Each structure stands twice: as C-alpha cells, then as structure tokens.
C-alpha cells in the first residue's frame, strides 16, 4: 500500500528539514511525501529540492509559480498523488501542529476504508493551551456550527490533518470546490459525507506553530461561518441523491 502525504508549504524553511526527518523516522512502509510549495520567498522550495536527494525516491516536490491559496495547493497536490498511484492520500501542515506520531493510526484507518480525521474535539484530543480564549471558543463553536448546519457526524470539521482512501478522494468533485483555506476542509468533509464516506476521528493535540507567525484571525473565522451556510444549496444535486 503506497501512502503519499501532501504537505503544502509557504515559508516553512525552518520547519521542513526536521519535519521530514521525523516523518521518515517513523519507518512507515511505502510512505511518500509530496511537498506543494508556492514559490516561498524564504526558499522552502529550493530547500525541498535539495532534500530530495537525501530521501529519494520517497520525497517529491511540486512547485506552483504563485501563491494562490491553500485550497488550490491541496487540489493540485491531491491530483499529483493520485496520478502517481497512491493508495492512501494524507495531508498535514508543515508547522508541527499535527502530531507526527499519529500517522500510523491515520494510515491504518484509511486502509480500513475510512476517512481518517485528526480530531481536537473527541475524547483525548485538545488544542494548545496558549490559544487565546476567543480562538478556542470560535474553533469549537465553528465545528459545532458546521456540524449542525451540514448534518455531518464529525466533531472536528475544520481540521487539516486527514488521510483518505484513494477511491474516496478521487470521487470528490474537486473542480466544484470554490472555498479556500479554512472552509476548504469543511467543504471536503461535506462532499465526503454526501458521497457516503465513513469517518474515523483520531484524537490529536493541536500544537501552535513555534517557528513563523500565525495568520489566523477573527475575520477569517467569521468569513468561514458565512460560507458554510451556502454549501447545502451549492450541492443540492448531490444531496438529492442521498
């Protein structure tokens, strides 16, 4: 079973070498990593090219000429991973927010045919204590709100740490996805749910990024809340088939 983990990067030069060392240090069988870099000004893309020699043939780098959103980076990365014959496609952030030691459990769930979701909001999961109270409250409320509006049976709807069985990911009509970063995850979950996916939530501790600065803001989360409302009408055709 070939697993490819898609890792989008933008200015992650400090994190990338340690991240790769730790993931490949798991010695997981047939595990590949695909870095999707948007021409990071700090040279993350060039560094990734250098690291390719060290980890060949398990490391690949996909360069995008301009930064045009995390959603598009995922979509293009997924297409490359599927084309390259991955049986399981995972994705995670490069900034150590997603615990590396959970990768084997995530793969195992995906091999069993489920969409594995790294979850902050199931028993055993949590978020960084350093998060300000507004961010904690909004994140938890965001998941509750999305779950209620969309009817998805998932506690963590907005997380970006997931592993997919190839067939499930390939079934998602990615060309219809409009939303970027935050809502992108909700939209993927919603489509998976509409297409009959079974989810498996694996508890994670979500650590705040150590290197680099956080861009998360109140405004981003408010925009997301509005977009979630629009999803059911956008996918009326698929909903009817339920």
Ligand X SMILES: Nc1nc2c(ncn2[C@@H]2O[C@H](COP(=O)(O)OP(=O)(O)OP(=O)(O)O)[C@@H](O)[C@H]2O)c(=O)[nH]1
Asked if 63 touches ligand X (CB under 6 A), the answer is no
Least distance to ligand X from the beta carbon of 240, Å? 33
Q: Does 38 sit near ligand X (CB under 6 A)?
A: yes
Q: Which of 84, 98, 135 is nearest to 8 (CA)?
A: 98
d(CA 37, CA 67): 8
Select 93 or 201, whichever has its Cβ closest to ligand X: 93
Stretch that binds Mg ion, among 47-55, 90-98, 111-119, 196-204 (CB under 5 A): 90-98
DSSP letter string over 88-119? EEEE--SSS-S-GGGHHHHHHHHHTT-EEEEE
Please give the structure tokens belonging to residue 223: 């925009």
For Mg ion, which is the closer residue by CB, 37 or 93? 93
Question: Going by C-beta distance under 8 Å and a sequence separation of 6 or more, which residues neighbour residue 53?
Answer: none
- Provide the token pair at 25: 């240090």
How far, in Å, CA of 217 to CA of 164, rounded? 28
Verify cis geometry, omega within 30 degrees of 0, for the bond prior to 202.
no
By CB under 6 A, residue 47 contacts ligand X:
no
Q: What is the smallest separation between the CB atom of 5 and ligand X, expressed in angstroms?
A: 12
Site track for Mg ion across 163-202, x = CB under 5 A? ----------------------------------------
What mask, x for binding ligand X by CB under 6 A, covers residues 3 to 22? -----xxx-x----------
C-beta of residue 181 within 8 angstroms of C-beta of residue 75: no
Binding of residue 215 to ligand X (CB under 6 A) = yes
Interacting residue with Mg ion among 9, 44, 97, 179 (CB under 5 A): 97
- Residue 12 contacts Mg ion per CB under 5 A: no
At residue 162, the 3 state secondary structure works out as strand
User: Which pairing describes strands 162-165 and 115-119: parallel, antiparallel, or unpaired?
Assistant: antiparallel
Binding mask 73-112 for ligand X (x = CB under 6 A): x-------------------xxx-x---------------
Task: Write down the least CB distance from residue 10 to Mg ion, Å.
Answer: 10
Q: Which residues make Cβ contacts (< 8 Å) with residue 31, sequence separation at least 6?
A: 3, 5, 23, 24, 58, 103, 107
Provide φ and ψ at 27, rounded to 5°.
55, 40
Q: Does 214 bind ligand X (CB under 6 A)?
A: yes
194 or 227: CB nearest ligand X: 227
Stretch that binds ligand X, among 47-55, 68-76, 102-110, 186-194 (CB under 6 A): 68-76
Q: Which residues bind Mg ion (CB under 5 A)?
A: 93, 95, 97, 209
């Amino acid at each position: 079973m070939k697993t490819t983990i898609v890792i989008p990067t933008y200015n992650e030069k400090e994190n990338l070498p340690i991240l790769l060392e730790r993931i490949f240090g798991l010695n997981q069988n047939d595990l590949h990593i695909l870095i999707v870099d948007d021409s990071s000004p700090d040279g993350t893309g060039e560094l990734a090219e250098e690291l390719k020699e060290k980890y060949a043939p398990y490391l690949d780098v996909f360069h995008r000429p301009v930064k045009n959103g995390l959603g598009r980076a995922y979509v293009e990365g997924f297409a490359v991973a599927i084309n390259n014959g991955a049986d399981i496609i995972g994705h995670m952030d490069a900034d150590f927010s997603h615990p590396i030691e959970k990768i084997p459990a995530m793969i195992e769930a995906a091999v069993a045919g489920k969409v594995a979701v790294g979850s902050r909001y199931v028993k055993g999961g949590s978020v960084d204590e350093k998060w300000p109270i507004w961010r904690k409250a909004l994140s938890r409320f965001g998941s509750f709100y999305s779950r209620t509006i969309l009817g998805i049976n998932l506690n963590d709807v907005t997380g970006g740490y997931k592993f997919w069985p190839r067939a499930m990911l390939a079934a998602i009509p990615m060309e219809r996805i409009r939303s970027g970063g935050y809502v992108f995850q909700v939209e993927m979950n919603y489509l998976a749910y509409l297409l009959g996916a079974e989810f498996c939530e694996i508890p994670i501790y979500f650590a705040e990024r150590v290197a680099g600065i956080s861009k998360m803001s109140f405004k981003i989360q408010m925009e997301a809340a509005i977009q979630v409302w629009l999803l059911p009408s956008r996918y009326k055709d698929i909903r009817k088939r339920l």
